[in-house]
Every structure is written in C-alpha cells, then in structure tokens.
C-alpha cells in the first residue's frame, strides 16, 4: 500500500500513488487531527491525490521524491490561506 499511517499519526505517501490510493488518503486525512503527510518516498501522485492535499492542506514533511511534485505542487501546498484548512472536516 502506498498510503499508510504510522503510530505517530503521520500519513506516508510512498512509491506510485494512484487513483486507488485517493480513498485511503481521504480516510487518513479525516482521521488524523494533525494532518501531517510525509512524501519523501512519493515517486508519483495521481491528480486525485494532489487535489486532496490541496484541499486538506496538511503539514508536509520533507521534500517530495518527485522533482515535479517538489517544483510544482509543494509551492501550492505552502501558500494556501489558513481558512481553507478549517473547511476540510468530516
């Protein structure tokens, strides 16, 4: 599985995160009050994964393994207004 949550509540994205990983990521984001995501082992993320990250605005840990994600997605995750974070709830 490319989406897993460790005992500290950190959500890890690893390898090729495809469309089938969107639902597990959504459930993990909803269940994790800290919403911390580590993506240093993420090689690829389907657009559904990126959309969830943009909506949830979790705290991202480490640089993404993928140069594309690091160059194009990471800046978007760091500049969203804080008011959007509060809107992502169950």
Confidence of residue 51 (pLDDT cuts 50, 70, 90): very high
Mean pLDDT of 64-76: 94
Residue 21 in this model has a pLDDT that exceeds 80? yes
CB-facing half-sphere around the CA of 89: CA atoms within 13 A: 3
Strand stretches in 27-86, DSSP E: 36-45, 59-61
Residue 81 in this model has a pLDDT that exceeds 70? no
* Burial class for 69, CB neighbours closer than 10 Å (0-12, 13-18, 19+): buried
First to last CA, the chain: 23
CB-facing half-sphere around the CA of 64: CA atoms within 13 A: 23
User: In this predicted structure, what is the pLDDT of residue 8?
Assistant: 86
Q: What are the tens digits of pLDDT across the range 30-47?
A: 997 678 999 999 999 999
pTM for the complete prediction?
0.85
């Amino acid at each position: 599985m490319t989406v897993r949550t460790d005992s500290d509540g950190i959500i890890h994205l690893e390898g090729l995160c495809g469309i089938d990983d969107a639902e597990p990521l959504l459930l993990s984001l909803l269940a994790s009050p800290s919403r911390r995501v580590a993506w240093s082992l993420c090689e690829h993320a389907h657009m559904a994964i990126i959309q969830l990250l943009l909506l949830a605005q979790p705290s991202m840990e480490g640089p993404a393994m993928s140069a594309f994600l690091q160059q194009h997605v990471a800046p978007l995750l760091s500049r969203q207004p804080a008011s959007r974070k509060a809107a992502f709830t169950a």
